[in-house]
Amino acid sequence: MATTTSPAAKAPTAPASASAPASALSWGARLQEQGLPILVILSVTLLVWYGLTVYLNAPGAIERVLEPKGPWGWRDLVDATLAMQRPVLPAPHQVALDLYSSLVDWPLDSPRNLLFHVAVTGQSTLVGFAMGTVLGLVLSVCIVHSRTLDRALLPWIVASQSVPVLAIAPIVLVILGSMGFAGVAPKAVIAMYLCFFPVTVAMVQGLRSPQVIETEMMHTYAATRWQALWMLRLPAALPFLFPALRVGIAAGLVGAMVAELPTGAQAGLGARLLTGSYYGQTVQIWSALVMSALLGLTLTAAMAALESAVLGPRRRA
């Protein structure tokens, strides 16, 4: 009797090692897709930065460096603009060298080390961010569960953000200082002021996102408001919360730095910017700006990693 074999039995099986090149290919394609635009934008930014450095520093370089030496050419002009001690706009390599010198040549507990200032500002930012997140969560729950609070609080919450933080900061610092609060607390309050708003607005939208059929099902099960909040509304609001946390922690960093300006603080990235402006150290100012940008990227990346850890399994399910 003739035996027949199924097409599945005839089909050759791919070796297990074939998946490795495919994964490596997909990783390389993903790196090219995501990394190439970043490299292009970074290259264009550096070219524009160097061009502006030469253009803005040229008058001062001609007046103070080139004319006293006699005849000069365009190469002399470019070299002079890129090597000025107090330029109008420092070159990228000057900022990079100042950053490297600050991080390597001084101990971590020295005010000349930027990481010392990063720790001071980061502490105020994280404390204010935690306070703002808790305040935003509490306000959003109250607004969602009370029509009176919705009409009474939400307009004032929106209106509070129309007041510039530069106007609020000195008032808050004076009031808290008269009450005996100093150090981290006043700066954390300013950071909280900027953090709580995106969390409140996003969580109000997220807590109201469950559909009517879902809320009616909770009523069918005789669930209390707190049970419905914990089992239905909060899980539904998580996709709204984490983008607000990324915005809030970046805003809190800005608030912490602004709070360091009117106090004349001796430590912190805001204080570093202030002392640089006092003494005309533009390279120091730009170094602090770059470090604050790196700190902001690190904090938002941490929020993105937390979001991936919490919501990743749900998205893959």
Question: Domains in the chain, start-ordered, CATH in brackets?
Answer: 26-89 (no CATH), 114-311 (1.10.3720.10)
Percent of the chain with pLDDT over 90: 42
- Token readout for 292 is 């604050």
- The Cα–Cα gap between 76 and 68 comes to 13
Does the structure show a pLDDT above 70 at 10?
no
Judged against a pLDDT cut of 50, whether residue 232 lies above it is answered with yes
pLDDT surpasses 50 at 313: yes
The reported pLDDT for the residue numbered 263 is 62
Residue 150: predicted pLDDT: 85
Residues 6+ apart with CB under 8 A from 53: 81, 82, 87, 89, 90, 91
Model pTM score: 0.81
User: How many whole angstroms from its chain centre is CA 197?
Assistant: 16
Position 28 scores a pLDDT of 67
* pLDDT recorded at residue 317: 61
Closest by CA position to 273, among listed 124, 81, 54, 118: 118
pLDDT-derived band at 286 (thresholds 50, 70, 90) equals very high
What integer is the mean pLDDT of 301-312? 90
In the chain, count H helices and then E strands: 14, 0
Between these two residues, 58 and 181, which has the higher pLDDT value? 58
- Give me the percent of the chain exceeding a pLDDT of 70: 88
Tell me the residue type at 305. A
What pLDDT does residue 179 have?
85
The pLDDT, as a whole number, for residue 7 is 46
Closest CA to 261 of 162, 172, 129: 172
Q: Extract the runs of DSSP E, i.e. beta strands, from the chain.
A: none
pLDDT at position 287, please?
A: 93
Model confidence pLDDT, tens digit, residues 11-36: 444 444 444 455 555 666 766 777 78
